[in-house]
């Protein structure tokens, strides 16, 4: 378990490019595997989570190869022609892979077992099991609806209209993917809009998707027994990964950095809006559309941040970026309040309690509530934890590790992160990029 101490740094300068978007990378591999013929994927995130998806799709019959140039080629087999896996599908740390594949296999006529690492095996799957059971799939899960879990798909499955009880792109996607191989029309009602990569990309692969309103809420419908056609997918940079460098540049004096090719999908860009609300200088250069996704280069300069009340309605569009936002709030002038973040308690770790403890160790003033944190900032002064006290436990959570690495850049004595290995699940080049940007 490689521990590392992150120290006060010089300004972040130059131009960097973060890896491909994790959410889009997962979906590109899955949907290409369901299209009959060869698709190509450029910019795929080659982190452990996405590689777990690639491994699972190979076990289900797809041909997936990485070319020497970094282009991935996927030979798909069709939405109704997946093969029963001969052994358990090991999802590693990836909740997205697990929940989306549960949906995909819920309408296939065979059984599959899902396993994962210690962190994933503690995460609840009942929110996906419930609607997929309504469609006819059967589940044998561990206590509390966790992995290991065995699913027996229904063939044919039953189309449903499902209203999401919580804002979750993963649950929405699981139901829509189950609907791909289900006769009739399967629909999801979203009271609060969540990231829409699934709808955009399924439509791009030729699925019949309809998006409308029902009683003022978003209604997404998919026509089943779909025939997907191969595509050439270009994956934009991951805004969740860019968030760590955005915050780092905002809080380290003298910083002026450009982050190229960042996905700016409105259902994902909440972190940029929140940091601008706090006074952050974040300019969008060369905005453009790539494969149906909004993309821009971001110029970020050191800024005097001011505490703010973050609108809970922003949460679905930045749910994975809150640990980074908490770090920015710790260095702001005044108080930042967040609420509506119960979802953070069932991520790779309980991100509210883990970040509250980690930032307190680093010298921040943090109050933890059931659904958020209140953070009293330093006004731009460095965090003042001592080297002896500021040893952060990441709880196998990649975003905790990267957030506290950024906090270390603006601390008087540095921040020691107990284990940087989990960072490889989503951002394998993080350490090298950070070292290069702060030279």
Structure tokens at 58: 């190979």
107 belongs to an annotated ligand binding site = no
**Cα distance between residue 170 and residue 223, in whole Å:** 19
Prior bond to 419 cis, omega within 30? no
CA 160 to chain centre: 26
CA atoms within 13 A on the CB side of 252: 28
H/E element, 405: helix 398-408
- Per residue of the chain (439 residues), what is the pLDDT tens digit? 589 999 988 999 999 999 999 999 999 999 999 999 999 999 999 999 999 999 999 999 999 999 999 999 999 999 999 999 999 999 999 999 999 999 999 999 999 999 999 989 999 899 999 999 999 999 999 999 999 999 999 999 999 999 999 889 999 999 999 999 999 999 999 998 899 999 999 999 999 999 999 999 999 999 999 999 999 999 999 999 999 999 999 999 999 999 999 999 999 999 999 999 999 999 999 999 887 899 999 999 999 999 999 999 999 899 999 999 999 999 999 999 999 999 999 888 899 999 999 999 999 999 999 999 999 999 999 999 866 666 889 998 999 999 999 999 999 989 999 999 999 998 999 999 999 998 7
4-20+236-437: what CATH class?
alpha beta
187 belongs to an annotated ligand binding site = no
213 belongs to an annotated ligand binding site = no
H/E element, 240: helix 239-251
How high is the pLDDT of residue 392? 87
Q: Is 381 a catalytic residue?
A: no
CATH architecture of 22-234: Alpha-beta prism (3.65)
How high is the pLDDT of residue 292? 81
How high is the pLDDT of residue 2? 87
The beta strand positions in 342-431, using DSSP E, are 365-369, 372-376, 391-392, 415-417
Nearest to 197 by CA among 216, 228, 176, 223: 176
HEC profile of 177-196 = HHHHCCCCEEEEEECCCCCC
Catalytic residue among 117, 196, 297, 320: 320
How high is the pLDDT of residue 167? 86
Domain pair 4-20+236-437 / 22-234, same fold? yes
CA end-to-end span of the chain: 26
**Cα distance between residue 113 and residue 391, in whole Å:** 37
How high is the pLDDT of residue 1? 55
Per the CB < 8 A criterion, the answer to whether 162 and 190 are in contact is no
How high is the pLDDT of residue 388? 62
Structure tokens at 308: 């703010």
**Residues linked to residue 367 through DSSP beta bridges, in sequence order:** 374
347 belongs to an annotated ligand binding site = yes
How high is the pLDDT of residue 249? 98
How high is the pLDDT of residue 389? 63
413 belongs to an annotated ligand binding site = no
Q: Where are the domains of the chain?
A: 4-20+236-437, 22-234
**Cα distance between residue 383 and residue 377, in whole Å:** 9
How high is the pLDDT of residue 390? 67
200 belongs to an annotated ligand binding site = no
- Residue carrying the six token digits 């009602």: 189
């Amino acid at each position: 378990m490689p521990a590392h101490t992150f120290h006060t740094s010089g300004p972040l300068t130059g131009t960097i490019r973060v890896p491909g978007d994790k959410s889009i990378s997962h979906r590109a591999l899955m949907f290409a595997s369901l299209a009959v013929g060869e698709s190509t994927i450029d910019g795929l995130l080659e982190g452990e989570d996405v590689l777990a998806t690639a491994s699972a799709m190979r076990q289900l019959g797809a041909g997936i190869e990485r070319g020497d140039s970094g282009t991935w080629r996927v030979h798909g087999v069709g939405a109704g022609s997946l093969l029963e896996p001969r052994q358990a599908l090991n999802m590693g740390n990836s909740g997205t892979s697990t929940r989306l594949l549960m949906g995909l296999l819920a309408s296939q006529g065979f059984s599959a077992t899902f396993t994962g690492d210690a962190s994933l095996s503690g995460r609840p799957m009942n929110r996906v099991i419930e609607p997929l059971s309504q469609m006819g799939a059967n589940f044998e899960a561990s206590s509390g609806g966790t992995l290991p879990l065995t699913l027996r798909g229904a063939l044919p499955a039953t189309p449903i209209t499902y209203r999401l009880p919580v804002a979750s792109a993963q649950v929405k996607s699981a139901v829509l993917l189950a609907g791909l191989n289900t006769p009739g029309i399967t629909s999801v009602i979203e009271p609060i809009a969540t990231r829409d990569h699934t709808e955009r990309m399924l439509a791009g692969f030729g699925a019949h998707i309809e998006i409308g309103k029902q009683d003022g809420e978003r209604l997404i419908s998919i026509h089943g027994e779909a025939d997907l056609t191969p595509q050439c997918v270009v994956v934009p940079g991951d805004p969740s990964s860019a968030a760590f460098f955005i915050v780092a540049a905002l809080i380290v004096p003298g910083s002026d950095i450009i982050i190229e090719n960042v996905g700016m999908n409105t259902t994902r860009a909440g972190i940029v809006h929140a940091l601008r609300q706090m006074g952050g200088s974040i300019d969008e250069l060369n905005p453009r559309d790539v494969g149906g996704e909004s993309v821009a280069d971001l110029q970020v300069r050191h800024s005097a941040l001011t505490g703010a009340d973050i609108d809970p309605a922003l949460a679905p569009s930045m749910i994975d970026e809150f640990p980074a936002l908490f770090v920015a709030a710790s260095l702001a002038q005044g108080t930042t309040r967040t609420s509506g973040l119960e979802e953070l308690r069932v991520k790779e770790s309980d991100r509210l309690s883990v970040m509250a403890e980690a930032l307190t160790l680093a010298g921040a003033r943090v109050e933890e509530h059931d659904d958020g944190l209140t953070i009293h900032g330093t006004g731009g002064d460095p965090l003042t934890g001592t080297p002896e006290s500021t040893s952060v436990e990441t709880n196998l959570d990649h975003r905790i590790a990267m957030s506290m690495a950024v906090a270390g850049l603006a601390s008087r004595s540095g921040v020691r992160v107990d284990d940087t290995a989990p960072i490889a699940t989503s951002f394998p080049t993080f350490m090298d990029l950070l070292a290069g940007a702060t030279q």
